[in-house]
Structure 1
Amino acid sequence: MDIQNERRRLLDAEGGDEDPTGLMSEQDAYLSKVKNKNLYLATFASVLGPMSFGFVLGYSSPAIPELTKIADPRLRLDDNQASWFGSIVTVGAAAGGLLGGWMVGKIGRKLSLMFCSLPFVFGFTIIIAAQNVWMLYIGRVLTGLASGVTSLVVPLYISEMAHERVRGTLGSCVQLMVVLGIMGVYLAGLFLDWRWLAICSSIPPTLLMVSMCFMPETPRFLLSQGKRREAEEALRFLRGPDAPVEWECARIEDACDQQGSSFHMSDLKDPGVYKPLVIGVMLMLFQQMTGINAIMFYAESIFEQAHFKESDLASVIVGLIQVVFTGVAALIMDKAGRKALLVISGVAMAISTTAFGVYFYLMSKLHSTTSLSLLMLDIKSKAGEEPHADLAWLALASMAVFITGFALGWGPIPWLVMSEIFPAKVRGVASAVCVLTNWTMAFIVTKTFQDMMTILTSAGTFWLFACMCILNVIFTIAFIPETKGKTLEQIEATFRGTSGP
């Protein structure tokens, strides 16, 4: 057999002994014949979905200032309406997570991805044609729905296509394209009004629909449907003409046969199901409880206090930091490993949110001291400006460290790990639960943030986030397995407590 001959050749070339299990040598022999060009092409086509999702998330930032000052009273947003315009996306995305979980099981990963481009385009079209505030809301809900489907389908599509040597890097491209989309819409917002910005935002999902027409369905989904010939053709496209894809196909097929094809509630008793499900849900909870939305909420005012008068430009700088360090995470993901990056990320965010708490505590003390001085000495408020300026470096440094830390670990990795740890038969349902958890928590944190600031004070709120970051480091060390370099079937076997195929 070709794979056996290639294995012997590799071992001879390395001067090594025969591996007693034969597993890693067979994988190395197989992967040595793999060509990744078409895999990269399919990944690029699919991550146009996360880019569209990034445009949706970022759209409200440049659009809201315009819509609050627009001349047409039917479209003008007050503070409450502006808040809903920004946050209602998360409601649509939570629903999209449930819809995506059903779609990937029924019609597959490829068709789900193609169909989710429709609500993206329809949503932005309604925003472009909006005649009242409700049309703006409907457009945002539709684009949110598409974002929820995308955030579930694309990580699954990539993880089921990619082999273990590049799965981490390609999976991290999901978050990279989200932050690229956010930065893209911030940049476009410097030059375009809100309608033209919506037109610009509808381009990536249109390209997604067209490009996915030429890409294959994932081999694992095809095999779960009993379509072996189509699965081999998909693998041949993804691995190149020289790879003996029958070997990989047989390995995936064996794993599918062992676990069955459909999900039943009784499967929740299986440690191979409930363990990864608990880990996936906790990853999503902790991602939102790190305080990422709070930091982004404060970004504009922090830059203003540091004398960055152009707040639009400040948003672009924040986006650029995210893009650079998410790109770094993608490059080192398959070398450093998921677990190490999550720990480093959590520690960096714990330090920065603690420093933020100190910043707001000192600011409140300085504010009260300045107020007393103003009453007693009747001097101008200029005397109170210096402490703000002196402390601006602490806020800027804290924000830079936080965004860097988040981009390195807790931004991309929860989505990557979610796509890796679930058995094929529960992948759609379990991923839907995780996506629903993420977006529900995003909505809760966003909508209750002001109440938390009132009850706990600004400093107390950020110290609470610091405690959550410390908890997520402990959780990572104690419970999250390293998935670097393992096939999806080997990861499943780890949770079941058996040896991988």
Structure 2
Amino acid sequence: MMEIQNHESRRLLDAEYGEEETGVRSEQDEYLDKVKNGKLYLATFAAVLGPLSFGFVLGYSSPAIPELSTITDPRLQLDKEEASWFGSIVTIGAAIGGLLGGWMVDKIGRKLSLMLCSIPYIFGFTIIIAAQNIWMLYLGRVLTGLASGVTSLVVPLYISEMAHERVRGAMGSCVQLMVVTGIMGVYIAGMSLDWRWLAICCSIPPTLMMVFMCFMPETPRFLLSQGKQREAEEALRFLRGPDAPAEWECARIEDASDDQGGRFGMADLKDPGVYKPLGVGIMLMLFQQLTGINAIMFYAETIFEKAHFKNSDVATVVVAATQVVFTAVAALVMDRAGRKLLLIVSGVFMCLSTAAFGVYFKLSSETHGNSSGLCLVESPLAQNPAADLSWLALSSMGFFITGFSLGWGPIPWLVMSEIFPTRVKGFASSVCVLTNWGSAFIITKTFQNLMDLLTSAGTFWLFSGCCALNIVFTIIFVPETKGKTLEQIQARFKGTPEQLSYNRQT
């Protein structure tokens, strides 16, 4: 029986001849027409409670720092330097979490990794709630950062390995959507709750995730990589519904897994099916941080003040809401427009808007006879321009956030989860996550030095140049993964016969 299944799956996946390729597509479409997505959506919801928690962690420092800076208890009061570390120490924990997550997903699986990462979330916020000194606050932030790093790696993998090609883009985009929803949620909650009650609220999503994930399956691809065919078929029946023949998809995945080989070894780095997608993944993560997103968010409050938004809390909620709306738009169109087109459109938006930011800084500084702009404190935004140019800064920020949310926000994480063979996903994804968090930390910490060296205008023109480069990189190197199975995507890098089918469908 197994030989018959393997023979059938090989026939379906063989794209050497156009006639058989048509057979592949029609039979695959017939299979997908029988799929019911209800339980897939449920499993995705359970998983994205992790990114929601991640968003709460990222946004928590914004409402908490002003309170902790003025608190009457001297043991908890943060000075300027301590407040900076309270905000940024999360990235250190997240970088460690990315490495830990890469090991966990290969050793204990995607589901159990997700359940276990709830623990440092809950413990971290519990320590913050019970904090008696600054070091307890730091420890809580490191633990929640550690959980965030694991989450940012595991959840995209879990969703991409569960979802079929018709909805994988939308489901994968929900990761970034829930991150920005969490940030907006904590901003709104922070307007009425103090920092301890806010931490209590932030501990609710990871608790729910741990409970809900108990009832969700492990991914079929991981189960097959462990030789658990029966469990993989049961997982597929849960995810695809009773009408879809799970054995067909299971045989297809297993056949591709046999072609990919066994466990990862360093010699695999010579395989084009490994080093090519690894290079794409690393560069996507690096370019995401080189867009200037952290610089834009750094200036957001001041920009709104110049546009006469006196309430900075409302301003931050407006920025977060904009991210939520356009990330949701990206999720809705992801499987129609495709990843590559959205990345290019997003890059154009950001390239033009950061260039306009540079023009704003240049004109504002010249208005005051200060073209150097060497000190951030004395930058044009801190002054009161004779000519009101705040409209330029405000519109530039709006276009930038729109562009980032449509493409370079969600898509690098989505593509990372799609392009790696199962045997290297843990290692390759951890390298990508480490690149993202490491470059975020470096860019944030060196931003002031860039401002001193290049001036405000020069810094944003540098970001504009990086956005132009990411457009070129996308056009040349990033494959379109819309509507492709994970096996077809990986075959494209490896250059196997299935690549013909991939190229004809692209």
* TM-score bin (small chain): over 0.9
What residue is the counterpart of 1:50 in the other structure?
A: 51
Give the Å deviation of 1:369: 7.1
What residue is the counterpart of 1:144 in the other structure?
A: 145
Note the 1:479-498 alignment, pairs <5 A. Answer: 479-498=477-496
Q: CA RMSD in A?
A: 1.5
1:228-249, CA deviations, whole angstroms, 9 ceiling, x for partnerless residues?
0000000000000000010000
Aligned: 1:387 with 2:386: yes
What residue is the counterpart of 1:209 in the other structure?
A: 210
Aligned AA for 2:228? K
Aligned: 1:345 with 2:346: yes
Partners of 1:121 and 1:485 lie apart in 2 by 37
1:134-178, CA deviations, whole angstroms, 9 ceiling, x for partnerless residues?
111111000000000000000000000000000000000000000
What residue is the counterpart of 1:402 in the other structure?
A: 400
What residue is the counterpart of 1:229 in the other structure?
A: 230
What residue is the counterpart of 2:33 in the other structure?
A: 32
Give the Å deviation of 1:18: 6.7
Partners of 2:88 and 2:475 lie apart in 1 by 33
What residue is the counterpart of 2:11 in the other structure?
A: none
SS at match of 2:322: helix
Partners of 1:262 and 1:422 lie apart in 2 by 13
Note the 1:322-337 alignment, pairs <5 A. Answer: 322-337=323-338
On the 8 A contact 1:175/1:411 being kept in 2, the answer is yes
SS at match of 1:63: helix
On the 8 A contact 2:51/2:176 being kept in 1, the answer is yes
Of 184-193 and 67-76, deviating more is 67-76
Partners of 1:65 and 1:459 lie apart in 2 by 29
What residue is the counterpart of 2:412 in the other structure?
A: 414
Note the 1:225-264 alignment, pairs <5 A. Answer: 225-264=226-265
Partners of 1:190 and 1:210 lie apart in 2 by 29
Give the Å deviation of 1:367: 2.4
What residue is the counterpart of 1:431 in the other structure?
A: 429
Partners of 1:192 and 1:325 lie apart in 2 by 27
Q: Which runs of 4+ in 1 moved over 3 A?
A: 17-21
What residue is the counterpart of 2:94 in the other structure?
A: 93
SS at match of 2:154: helix
On the 8 A contact 1:350/1:469 being kept in 2, the answer is yes
Kindly tell me: are residues 45 and 364 of structure 1, through their superposed partners in 2, closer, same or farther at Cα, counting changes over 3 Å? same
Give the Å deviation of 1:368: 2.6
Note the 1:56-455 alignment, pairs <5 A. Answer: 56-368=57-369, 385=384, 387=386, 390-455=388-453
Note the 1:471-482 alignment, pairs <5 A. Answer: 471-482=469-480
On the 8 A contact 1:490/1:499 being kept in 2, the answer is no
Aligned AA for 1:443? F
On the 8 A contact 1:19/1:25 being kept in 2, the answer is no
Partners of 2:205 and 2:445 lie apart in 1 by 29
Q: Which TM-score applies when normalising by structure 1? A: 0.93
SS at match of 2:369: helix
Give the Å deviation of 1:257: 1.1
Partners of 1:93 and 1:274 lie apart in 2 by 24
Pick one of 461, 464, 467 that aligns with 1:466: 464
On the 8 A contact 1:346/1:472 being kept in 2, the answer is yes
On the 8 A contact 1:347/1:473 being kept in 2, the answer is yes
Of 18-27 and 263-272, deviating more is 18-27
SS at match of 1:68: helix
Give the Å deviation of 1:260: 1.9
SS at match of 2:72: coil
Percent identity reads 77
1:169-188, CA deviations, whole angstroms, 9 ceiling, x for partnerless residues?
00000000000000000000
